[in-house]
């Protein structure tokens, strides 16, 4: 039986790296994307991930490209399909934080456009292209039901006025997942929205002290930071079909952040 193929954007570090390693443990061949390739660096980046992934006897194809750019997006997809001929699981993980946190009353158009292009526009149109390919796969007959997974954030539904454009981009991504779930249901292609909470990555390193304090004070039910592996396990559970009857589901990986309490 052939190995299923997963495409993970932003796979060179953090959550994307955690997802790639977890799917490799489950026998997935992987296309991992990043904005650039550094083959000489085996300590970090896509080629470090490649070495880790391939230690599980699967294949890893590193691809460079900014998915917010239409031409780069087409090239990334061409390389992915040239490598494996199909994509069974698309994990929209690539995203950026803010260059500088500003009050919503001071947010600049430059920052807004950057975040929206990378966090929302790129995944929107990448998913559109992959969804059409998945429909063709289904019509041709496939032994593996395709799925699309969006890595959004608790910021999809939690206001943070010092980084409003980030919250808006993630809320838009969550709604993209909902719309695709509706549109693709007739083809048996499931779509999911995974919302990580406070996850220990390079992106959150600058606010470690802030969140250490909040976690200690009871912000989360589970009093620890989340890890990329936590998110990877949720992705693997979906990819393996454990949430087959749950298209459109929102899954928070946030240590109980979203539980309302009195």
Asked if residue 77 lies in contact with residue 61, where contact means CB atoms within 8 angstroms, the answer is no
| Helix extents (H) in the chain | 14-25, 46-54, 70-84, 109-116, 122-140, 164-184, 208-216, 228-239
Estimate to the nearest angstrom the gap between the alpha carbon of 241 and the chain centroid: 18
User: Which long-range CB contacts under 8 A does 129-135 form with residues at least 24 apart?
Assistant: 129/73, 129/74, 129/77, 130/7, 130/77, 130/87, 130/90, 131/180, 131/183, 131/184, 131/189, 133/77, 133/81, 133/86, 133/87, 134/87, 134/90, 134/184, 134/187, 134/189, 135/184, 135/187, 135/189
d(CA 87, CA 130): 8
The pLDDT value given to residue 1:
66
| Domain assignment present for 260 | no
Domain housing 60? 5-253
Residue 261: inside a domain: no
CATH number of domain containing 91: 3.40.50.720
- Give percent helix, percent strand, percent coil of the chain, each to the nearest 5: 50, 15, 40
Closest residue by Cα to residue 15 from 228, 252, 255: 228
The pTM of the full predicted model, rounded to 2 decimals, is 0.96
pLDDT tens series, the chain, 262 aa: 689 999 999 999 999 999 999 999 999 999 999 998 887 878 789 999 999 999 999 999 999 999 999 999 999 999 999 999 999 999 999 999 999 999 999 999 999 999 999 999 999 999 999 999 999 999 999 889 999 999 999 999 999 999 999 999 999 999 999 999 999 999 999 999 999 999 999 888 888 999 999 999 999 999 999 999 999 999 999 999 999 999 999 999 999 999 999 8
What integer pLDDT is reported at residue 38 of this predicted model?
84
Residues recognised as catalytic: 166
In a domain, 151, yes or no: yes
Residue 110 CB burial class (10 angstroms; 0-12, 13-18, ≥19)? exposed
CB atoms within 10 A of CB 107: 19
Q: Rounded CA gap, 171 and 155, in Å?
A: 7
Number of structural domains the chain divides into: 1
**Inside any domain, residue 258:** no
Q: How far apart are CA 197 and CA 225, in angstroms?
A: 9
How confident is the model at residue 230, as a pLDDT? Answer: 98
Please give the C-alpha separations between residue 224 and each of 27, 90, 158, in angstroms, as whole numbers.
29, 29, 19
pLDDT of 127 reads 98
pLDDT at residue number 36: 87
Residue 209 lies in a domain: yes
78 inside domain: yes
């Amino acid at each position: 039986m052939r190995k299923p193929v997963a495409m993970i954007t932003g796979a060179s570090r953090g959550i994307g790296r955690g997802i790639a390693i977890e799917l490799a443990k489950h026998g997935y061949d992987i296309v991992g994307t990043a904005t650039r390739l550094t083959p000489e660096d085996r300590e970090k980046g896509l080629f470090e991930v490649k070495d880790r992934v391939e230690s599980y006897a699967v294949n890893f194809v590193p691809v460079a490209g900014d998915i917010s750019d239409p031409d780069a997006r087409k090239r990334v997809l061409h390389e992915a399909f040239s490598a494996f001929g199909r994509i069974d699981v698309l994990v929209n993980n690539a995203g950026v934080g803010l260059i500088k946190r500003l009050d919503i009353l001071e947010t600049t158009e430059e920052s807004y456009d950057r975040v929206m292009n990378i966090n929302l526009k790129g995944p929107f149109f990448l998913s559109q292209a992959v969804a059409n390919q998945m429909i063709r796969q289904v019509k041709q007959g496939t032994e593996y039901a395709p799925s699309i997974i969006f890595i959004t954030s608790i910021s999809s539904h939690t206001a943070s006025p010092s980084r409003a454009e980030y919250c808006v981009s993630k809320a838009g991504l969550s709604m993209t997942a909902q719309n695709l779930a509706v549109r693709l249901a007739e083809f048996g292609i499931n779509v999911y929205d995974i919302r990580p909470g406070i996850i220990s990555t390079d992106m959150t390193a600058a606010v470690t002290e802030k969140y250490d304090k909040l976690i200690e004070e009871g912000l989360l039910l589970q009093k620890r930071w989340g890890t990329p592996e936590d998110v990877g396990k949720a992705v693997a559970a979906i990819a393996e079909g454990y949430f087959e009857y749950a298209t459109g589901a929102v899954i928070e990986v946030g240590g109980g952040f979203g539980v309302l309490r009195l």
